[in-house]
Structure 1
Amino acid sequence: MRIYLPCTLPALAEILAEGRVGGEPSTAFAATGALRATGGDDEELEYEAMLSAADASLRLLAADPGAPRRRVVLAADMPEAAITEDADLGGPAAVRVDGSIPYKKLASAHVDDVGAEDDIARAAADPEAGHQDDHDLMWYAVQELKYLFE
């Protein structure tokens, strides 16, 4: 099952250093049964799950004023047995991931462009304001992630 994990750049640096996404359990987002009930095709549902993770990333930025003002969403492919739907964690796309997520399970990352930092900073100051909606997340292959820190 494809899941989307909210993250920040400092947390991503730790993930790259450790070779895994820690934190047990982790909150992520996916095209769950509850999300599917709202309608839409698979591509739309996956996009909605990614946007839910981006909103959660914004809340992580609000809690970490020292982090660069760029949302980060990690996409990973996990066995369904490791995933539990739990809307109480953040809406119909929310899931709980039991156990750590090995780096090799990461499929890609989606990160704000540097040019979005001012708007994301305003959005992090008030996560419900919606300033982040003006910016699409950039796609990165897993092997490109190290270049975000050069």
Structure 2
Amino acid sequence: MRVYLPCTLPALARVAAVGELGPAPLTGYAVTPALIEWYASGDTEELEYVALTEAARSSLRMLAADRTDGVEVAARRVVVAVDVPEGDVSASADLEERARVRLAAAVPLGLIAAVHVDDLSAVKDVEAALAALPAADRGDDDARFTVDGAEAHELLWYATQEIPDLVG
């Protein structure tokens, strides 16, 4: 099963150094039965894009949390696509999070299928989204618009052998 795991560039560097994405449990996003039922008209590719987008939103929150903790992190969303056995994935019971899943174990580097990362041209909008996130969470419509602006940027696809170049 393809699962999209939110990440950051520093966390991706740790994956490259230690050979796995963890520690467990890991929250990810996938094409779940609840997502299929809710998004009745979409094909598998569209549903995977929904899961990828949810993971990118979660990556933005990870960036904000890192910065709050004083970690210097580039304003680039990162999503790691992994292929894991379906039995290793448990779906969320939260109806608002139809694509959210949980992995009970760390994911070895060998199960990573690809990495998706913002292009450098997205940095300005991701920075603005990070600054607007607290106000957006308080319900400010203008701030939500700014946060949504980061989603206008498609994440670029990278093969696993390109990870050292991304984090180097």
Aligned pair in 2 of structure 1 residues 92, 9: CA closer, same or farther (>3 Å)? same
Q: 1:42 aligns with which of 41, 44, 52?
A: 44
The aligned runs of 1:59-74 (5 Å cut-off) are 59-65=61-67, 66-74=72-80
Deviation (angstroms), 1:149: 2.7
Tell me, yes or no, if structure 1 residue 110 matches structure 2 residue 116: yes
Query: For residues 36-78 of structure 1, what are the alpha-carbon distances to aligned partners after superposition, in whole Å with 9 as ceiling and x for unaligned?
Result: 0122110000000000000000000111122100000000000
Secondary structure of 2:161's match? helix
Equivalent residues in 2 for 1:13-92, closer than 5 Å = 13-38=13-38, 39=40, 40-65=42-67, 66-88=72-94, 91-92=97-98
Q: Which residue of 2 aligns with 1:134?
A: 152
Q: Aligned residue for 2:103? A: 97
Cα distance change on mapping 1:2 and 1:149 into 2, 3 Å:
same
- TM-score, normalised to structure 1, is 0.95
The 1:121/1:14 distance shift into structure 2, 3 A limit, reads: same
CA drift of 1:124 comes to 1.5
How many residues get paired? Answer: 150
**Greater C-alpha Rg:** 2
Q: Percent identity?
A: 47
Structure 1: gaps of 5 or more residues:
none
User: Deviation of residue 125 (structure 1)?
Assistant: 2.0
CA contact (8 A) 1:87 1:93 kept: no
Q: Secondary structure at the match of 2:94?
A: helix
Q: State the Cα distance separating 1:88 from its structure 2 match.
A: 3.4
* Long gaps (5+) in structure 2: 134-143
Q: RMSD over aligned Cα, in angstroms?
A: 1.4
Letter in 2 for 1:135: H
TM-score (norm: length of structure 2): 0.85
Separation in 1 of the partners of 2:96 and 2:25? 14
Give the structure 1 partner of residue 6 of structure 2: 6
